[in-house]
């Protein structure tokens, strides 16, 4: 499984949804007063991703804010107009005894 982050616009409003499974981004979003927890997705007792709602006035500001949050310069755009970023592999910490 890989870390990812995705942002999309809700029904022509000023509200956007950010979905991620990246722990650093989740901590940043939890600290903000302007974000609202929207839900999470699960599979077999393990959390796959968490969604937050955030408000931006313009789509360009939303993209700038998203890139600033994830610490990247650019994001990929899919066919539906959503932006997503692949943040790398999830490596398990294995301790050998």
pLDDT tens per residue, range 24-35: 899 999 999 999
- Predicted local confidence at residue 27, as pLDDT: 92
pLDDT of residue 97: 41
d(CA 57, CA 79): 23
pLDDT tens string 34-89? 999 998 887 777 778 899 999 999 989 999 999 999 888 888 888 888 888 888 77
What is residue 90's predicted lDDT score, i.e. its pLDDT?
60
Supply 90's token pair: 């999830």
**At residue 18, does pLDDT exceed 90?**
yes
User: What distance in Å separates the CA atoms of residue 76 and residue 30, rounded to the nearest whole number?
Assistant: 24
According to the model, what pLDDT value does residue 87 have? Answer: 84
CA atoms within 13 A on the CB side of 15: 11
The predicted pLDDT at position 95 comes to 47
Model confidence, pTM: 0.81
């Amino acid at each position: 499984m890989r870390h990812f982050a995705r942002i999309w616009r809700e029904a022509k409003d000023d509200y956007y949804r950010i979905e991620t499974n990246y722990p650093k981004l989740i901590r940043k979003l939890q600290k903000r007063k302007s974000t609202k927890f929207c839900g999470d997705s699960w599979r077999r007792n393990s959390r796959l991703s968490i969604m937050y709602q955030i408000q931006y006035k313009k789509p360009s500001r939303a993209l700038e804010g998203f890139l600033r949050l994830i610490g990247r310069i650019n994001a990929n755009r899919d066919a539906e107009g959503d932006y997503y970023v692949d943040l790398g592999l999830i490596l398990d910490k294995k301790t050998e005894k």
